[in-house]
């Protein structure tokens, strides 16, 4: 297992941003992000081509990831809350309805945000391990959402 100095914030952004093509440098731990039309796009693509195998593509999380996280979150809630969230989640547009319910309940939204971030960090750690990589630094704590009610 190769240990890298990884900027967790950059890596988290890459996993959340579906509009950017991102790669993890398996030698240095940097996140390389390509945005179509930006001045550095050509240089970055040339760098990727010059060093095949050095950069691991980062596939951003999608609605399926979020839906799975919502399902796991709902399963951990008290029965009355879980039933309300499950009802909202059923059928087309369910994810949007659940998110609307969460936004209306600040403590529940905070709990979901911490849960979702923990799930994403675990997803990133599995990604790293799957490529024979690990981070020299532990994933950041989840205190980001404390005191925002």
pLDDT band at 37 (very low <50, low <70, confident <90, very high): confident
Which residue segment(s) compose the domain that 79 sits in? 63-118
Q: Check if the beta carbon of residue 66 is closer than 8 Å to that of residue 75.
A: no
Q: Are residues 84 and 104 in the same domain?
A: yes
Q: Are residues 68 and 28 in the same domain?
A: no
Separation of alpha carbons 141 and 5, rounded Å: 17
Per DSSP, the three-state class of 90 is coil
Give the rounded distance of the alpha carbon of 43 from its chain centre: 27
- Please tell me the predicted confidence (pLDDT) of residue 36: 85
Instruction: Say how many domains are in the chain.
Output: 2
Q: Are residues 12 and 51 in the same domain?
A: yes
| Residue 55 pLDDT exceeds 90 | yes
Residue with token string 């390509």: 34
| 148 within some domain | no
Q: Check if the beta carbon of residue 45 is closer than 8 Å to that of residue 28.
A: no
Q: What is the pTM of this model?
A: 0.87
Q: Check if the beta carbon of residue 120 is closer than 8 Å to that of residue 61.
A: yes
């Amino acid at each position: 297992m190769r240990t890298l100095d990884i900027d967790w914030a950059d890596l988290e952004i890459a996993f959340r941003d579906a509009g950017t093509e991102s790669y993890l440098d398996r030698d240095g731990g940097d996140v390389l992000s390509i945005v179509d039309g930006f001045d550095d796009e050509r240089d970055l693509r040339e760098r990727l081509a010059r060093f095949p195998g050095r950069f691991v593509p980062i596939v951003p999380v999608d609605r399926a990831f979020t839906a799975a996280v919502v399902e796991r979150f709902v399963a951990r809630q008290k029965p009355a809350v879980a039933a309300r969230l499950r009802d909202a989640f059923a059928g087309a547009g369910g994810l949007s309805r659940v998110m609307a319910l969460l936004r209306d309940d600040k403590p529940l939204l905070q709990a979901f945000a911490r849960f979702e971030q923990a799930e994403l960090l675990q997803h990133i750690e599995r990604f790293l391990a799957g490529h024979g990589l690990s981070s020299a630094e532990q994933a950041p704590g989840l205190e980001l959402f404390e005191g925002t009610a």
